[in-house]
């Protein structure tokens, strides 16, 4: 079996599993099938599938079974909490002892093991340690239905698995769950889903819809135009046998199509970097999903952030309160507090309100703000630092306005800020200004309406006073802009001229955001400049030498070999592989010796050989943790080689 990751999204992933002439793409479905006397799991859709044996009782491992399927399910772990702990421990010990003999003649990539939920986190970690020790990458989960009423236990069980095991581990949910639960469990890391719920629902005359389902006698019009629904002239005829499959009714056929539709929607959402948006739509279909999402956001945010791409292009429509806790939003806010610091040379901070259009500098309001700043003494413009106050991100320096997700979000604007919006904005603004407080900068709040309250709360937190230049009217009014200009001119008048390295500030700020506070200054000196056309990548040049590229669609900085050499000496964002020279355009997990745990999917990385020498720069496909623990699959796309 060959595992090939396409893209990861938090706990979820889109990947292909290949073996000889067969291939499936996960997430996918599975169902019980029969061939003669043999009963097995069929994994995949339509005619392209793999098979897995039905595991024996959990009392003993499958020590005497002859495995003929694509996957060999070798043990059903005994881990019920209701059973005495000493019995569970003896069974685990016996299983661990028996496994080497069972799997010695098997391809480890085809070995699977069955586990079940337990209230004992200690037992679960023992089981996961056995799985990790034997490098088993296929885990079947059974007895899961009781957890559909226990979202806390369900998320803890799956979250613990995802914490302990690498991303190339495939989770198979053997229990048949309702189709509306599939999205949240895919988000929580399940890769393969049992389709038997479609059959169970059909036998109860239950018609599945996108967000729920209804008894057939309560439906007056069919809302679906699938093959099954268009094959009948009356709703009740859905209960008739399907001529193409005498073992199935039209209703079962429709229900199976609804499950297949959910799986394809999930795959498309992962592929298009829109899984979180899709999940936030689907959580309204049942209370369990909403509860589970809150729990995952609360207890596993660090892990979700680490496995979520830093650099994306997918828009963020911030509509519900769930959106505050998106990994992309949380990740940005954390980096702002950890990796951004107002440069020491700045003497004045100007706070501006956000705008609907992104990047902000392209909006009508911010063009007025920028024109006002440009009209000042250009010899002193380098003293001014611009900050944009916004929801849901909090604070965005002008230099980071094109960085994802600063230029990619949208939010309903009513004029009234919610409690969460106010709390986040004040917290972020306080955190950014706190680091600059000792420099005794003057803070000008060029804001009006609801923004004033946010600035006043921040003043209280910092025990300092801001100057307000738009209390009389809107921030974009001529009166307010004139007051801003007068206030700035008065402050700048006392300061000597300073060279304004605006390009350098932008480059360094982005580099700090990507790699860590202070890294930008070491990578780029004051001779660096940006060159490029509108909507085209910006080239980072030092005289005639290209040191990197800033991509306009994401704001990401791509390294050159020269800047990669500097970063490699930190060491930051490094991947070490066992070898001397890179071969090909992709680095695979099998060759990785070590990787920086700060690495997230899509991050720019430096690739070092075993002698710690730079051999290339590239883009991470998975997190640093997964690079170190994956057994196979691509982990870095190489951009340049030494």
CATH assignment, 2-299: 3.20.20.105
pLDDT for 474: 95
Confidence of residue 90 (pLDDT cuts 50, 70, 90): confident
d(CA 528, CA 381): 18
| 370 SS3 class | helix
Q: For the chain, give every domain's residue range.
A: 2-299, 316-492, 502-641
Please give the full DSSP string across 482-538, using - where no structure is assigned.
HHHHHHHHHHHTTS------HHHHHHHHHHHHHH-TTHHHHH--TTEEEE--TTSPE
pLDDT for 60: 59
What is the average pLDDT across 596-614? 96
CATH assignment, 502-641: 2.30.130.10
Confidence of residue 439 (pLDDT cuts 50, 70, 90): confident
pLDDT for 58: 59
Given a cut of 60, whether residue 480 has pLDDT beyond it is yes
Query: 97-111, 355-369, 391-405: which range is least confident on average?
Result: 97-111
Given a cut of 80, whether residue 83 has pLDDT beyond it is no
Higher pLDDT among residues 300 and 36, named by residue: 300
- Antiparallel, parallel or unpaired: β 316-317 and 245-249: unpaired
pLDDT for 172: 98
Q: How far is CA 454 from CA 177, 378, 400, 417, in A?
A: 45, 31, 21, 10
105 φ, ψ to 5°?
Answer: -100, 5
Token pair recorded at residue 231:
């094959």
633 DSSP 8-state letter: S
What is the average pLDDT across 496-525? 94
pLDDT for 55: 81
d(CA 14, CA 26): 6
What is the average pLDDT across 530-554? 92
Confidence of residue 89 (pLDDT cuts 50, 70, 90): confident
Q: How many CB atoms lie within 10 A of CB 267?
A: 19
Which pairs count as long-range contacts for 119-122, CB under 8 Å and 24+ apart, including other chains?
Answer: 119/81, 119/153, 120/79, 120/81, 120/85, 121/156, 121/160
Given a cut of 90, whether residue 82 has pLDDT beyond it is no
Going by C-beta distance under 8 Å and a sequence separation of 6 or more, which residues neighbour residue 442? 347, 348, 349, 467, 491
d(CA 625, CA 628): 5
Residue whose structure tokens are 């020279």 = 581
pLDDT for 84: 78
Name the percent of the chain lying above pLDDT 90.
Answer: 83
pLDDT for 426: 98
Confidence of residue 542 (pLDDT cuts 50, 70, 90): very high
SS3 per residue for 146-169 = HHHHCHHHHHHHHHHHHHHCCCCC
**Chain centroid to CA 4: how far?**
18
pLDDT for 64: 58
Name residue 348's beta-bridge partners.
384, 442
Confidence of residue 243 (pLDDT cuts 50, 70, 90): confident
Closest listed residue to residue 354, CA positions, set 454, 461, 482: 454
Going by C-beta distance under 8 Å and a sequence separation of 6 or more, which residues neighbour residue 482? none
Radius of gyration of the chain (CA): 28
The pLDDT tens digits of the residues spanning 119-174 come to 888 999 999 999 999 999 999 999 999 999 999 999 999 999 999 999 999 999 99
What is the average pLDDT across 458-487? 96
Confidence of residue 440 (pLDDT cuts 50, 70, 90): confident
What is the average pLDDT across 294-301? 97
Check: pTM over 0.75? Answer yes or no.
yes
pLDDT for 81: 65
pLDDT for 98: 87
The pLDDT tens digits of the residues spanning 33-62 come to 988 888 999 999 877 899 999 987 655 555
Please give the full DSSP string across 385-429, using - where no structure is assigned.
EEEEEETTTEEEEGGGTTSTTTTTEE----S---HHHHHHHHHHH
pLDDT for 421: 95
What is the average pLDDT across 228-235? 92
Confidence of residue 588 (pLDDT cuts 50, 70, 90): very high
pLDDT for 78: 77
**Chain centroid to CA 122: how far?**
28
Q: How far is CA 370 from CA 8, 423, 588, in A?
A: 39, 28, 47
Q: Do residues 415 and 450 make contact, with C-beta atoms less than 8 angstroms apart?
A: yes
pLDDT for 254: 96
Q: Do residues 68 and 109 make contact, with C-beta atoms less than 8 angstroms apart?
A: no
pLDDT for 44: 95
Q: How many CB atoms lie within 10 A of CB 640?
A: 14
Higher pLDDT among residues 188 and 64, named by residue: 188
**Chain centroid to CA 157: how far?**
20
Given a cut of 70, whether residue 65 has pLDDT beyond it is no
Closest listed residue to residue 7, CA positions, set 318, 314, 412, 430: 314
The pLDDT tens digits of the residues spanning 305-323 come to 999 999 999 999 999 999 9
d(CA 350, CA 352): 6
Q: What kind of architecture, by CATH, is found in domain 316-492? A: 3-Layer(aba) Sandwich (3.40)
The pLDDT tens digits of the residues spanning 167-195 come to 999 999 999 999 999 999 999 999 999 99
pLDDT for 367: 98
What is the average pLDDT across 567-574? 92
pLDDT for 229: 94
Q: How many CB atoms lie within 10 A of CB 128?
A: 18
316-492 shares its CATH topology with 502-641: no
């Amino acid at each position: 079996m060959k595992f090939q990751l396409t893209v990861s999204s938090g706990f979820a992933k889109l990947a292909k599993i290949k073996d000889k002439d067969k291939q499936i793409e996960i997430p996918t479905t599975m169902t019980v099938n029969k061939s003669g006397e043999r009963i097995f799991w069929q994994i995949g859709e339509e005619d392209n599938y793999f098979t897995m044996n039905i595991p024996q009782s959990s009392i003993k491992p499958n020590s005497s079974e002859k495995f003929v399927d694509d996957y060999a399910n070798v043990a059903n772990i005994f881990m019920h909490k209701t059973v005495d702990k000493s019995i569970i421990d003896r069974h685990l010990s016996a299983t661990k002892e028996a496994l080497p003999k069972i799997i010695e003649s098997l391809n480890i990539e085809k070995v699977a093991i069955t586990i079940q939920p337990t209230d004992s986190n200690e037992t679960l970690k023992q089981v996961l340690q056995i799985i990790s020790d034997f490098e088993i990458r296929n885990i079947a989960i059974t007895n899961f239905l009781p957890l559909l009423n226990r979202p806390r236990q369900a998320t803890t069980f799956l979250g613990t698995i995802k914490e302990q095991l690498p991303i190339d581990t495939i989770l198979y949910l053997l229990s048949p769950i309702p189709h509306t639960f599939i999205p949240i469990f895919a988000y929580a890391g399940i890769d393969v889903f049992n389709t038997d719920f479609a059959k169970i629902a059909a036998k109860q005359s239950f018609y599945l819809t996108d967000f729920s389902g209804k008894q057939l006698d309560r439906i007056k019009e069919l809302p679906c135009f699938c093959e099954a629904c268009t094959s009948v002239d009356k709703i009740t005829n859905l209960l008739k046998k399907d001529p193409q499959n005498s073992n199935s009714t039209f209703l079962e056929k429709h229900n199976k199509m609804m499950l297949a539709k959910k799986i394809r929607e999930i795959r498309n959402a992962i592929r298009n970097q829109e899984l979180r948006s899709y999940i936030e739509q689907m959580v309204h279909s049942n209370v369990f999903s909403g509860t589970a999402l809150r729990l995952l956001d609360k207890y596993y945010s660090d892990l979700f952030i680490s496995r979520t791409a830093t650099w994306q292009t997918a828009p963020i429509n911030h509509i519900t309160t769930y959106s505050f806790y998106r990994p992309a939003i949380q990740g940005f806010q954390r980096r702002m507090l950890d990796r951004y610091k107002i440069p020491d040379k700045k003497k004045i901070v100007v706070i501006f309100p956000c705008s609907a259009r992104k990047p902000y500098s392209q909006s009508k309001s911010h063009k007025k703000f920028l024109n006002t700043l440009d009209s000042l003494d250009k010899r002193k413009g380098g003293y001014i630092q611009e900050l944009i106050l916004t929801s849901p991100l909090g604070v965005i320096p002008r230099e980071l306005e094109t960085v994802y997700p600063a230029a990619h979000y949208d939010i309903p604007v009513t004029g009234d800020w919610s409690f969460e919006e106010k709390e986040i904005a004040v917290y972020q603004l306080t955190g950014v200004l706190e680091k600059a407080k000792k420099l005794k900068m003057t803070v000008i709040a060029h804001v009006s309406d609801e923004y004033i309250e946010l600035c006043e709360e921040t003043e209280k937190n910092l025990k300092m006073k801001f100057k307000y230049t738009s209390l009389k009217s809107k921030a974009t009014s001529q009166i307010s802009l004139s007051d801003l200009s007068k206030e700035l001119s008065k402050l700048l008048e006392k300061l000597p001229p300073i060279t304004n390295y605006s390009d350098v500030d932008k480059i360094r700020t982005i580099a700090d955001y990507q790699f860590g506070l202070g890294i930008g200054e070491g990578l780029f000196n004051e001779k660096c400049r940006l060159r490029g056309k509108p909507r085209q990548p910006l080239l980072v040049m030092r005289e005639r030498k290209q040191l990197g590229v800033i991509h306009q669609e994401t704001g990401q900085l791509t390294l050159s070999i020269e800047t990669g050499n500097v970063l490699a000496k930190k060491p930051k964002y490094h991947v070490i592989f066992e070898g001397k020279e890179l071969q090909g355009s992709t680095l695979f997990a099998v060759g990785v010796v070590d990787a920086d745990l700060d690495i997230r999917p899509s991050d720019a990385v430096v690739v070092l050989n075993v002698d710690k020498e730079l051999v290339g720069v590239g883009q991470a496909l998975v997190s640093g943790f997964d690079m170190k623990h994956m057994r196979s699959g691509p982990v870095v796309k190489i951009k340049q080689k030494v």
